Amino acid sequence: MKRCISKLKYRRVRFYQDWAKLSGGYHALQRNARLFMVPGMYQCLGARPDFFDTLGALEGWVENGIPPEAIVATKYTKDESDQACCA
C-alpha cells in the first residue's frame, strides 16, 4: 500500500510540474491553479485532518482575487486541536 500511495503522490506532483511547463512556468500557472498536499489524503503520509477549508480558499480567490498561499488543516484529538499547514 505504501508503494501505491507513493506513486499517487508523485503522479500528482509530476502532473503539476508538466502543467507548469506547458503554462510557461510556475508563476504563470499559479495565476489559475495551485497544488496543496493534504496530510493523510493518499499523497502525504500522516494523520488525516478532520477539517480543511478548501471552499473558503477557493471563494477568496474567485470572489476577492486573493489566491491561497496555504490551506490550514485541523486534526482534533480529544477536545484539543492540532493545526498543520498544507502547502
20 CB-side CA count, 13 A: 12
Question: Do residue 42 and residue 61 come from a single domain?
Answer: yes
Check if the beta carbon of residue 71 is closer than 8 Å to that of residue 57.
yes
Given a cut of 60, is residue 83 above it in pLDDT? no
Check if the beta carbon of residue 56 is closer than 8 Å to that of residue 79.
no
Question: Do residue 1 and residue 30 come from a single domain?
Answer: yes
| Separation CA 19–CA 26 (nearest Å) | 9
**pLDDT (tens digit per residue) in 25-70:** 999 999 999 998 877 766 555 567 778 888 999 999 999 999 999 9
**The domain containing residue 67 runs over which residues?**
36-87
**pLDDT (tens digit per residue) in 5-30:** 566 678 888 999 999 999 999 999 99
pTM, whole model, 2 decimals?
Answer: 0.66
Q: How far is CA 74 from the centre of its chain?
A: 13
The domain tally of the chain equals: 2
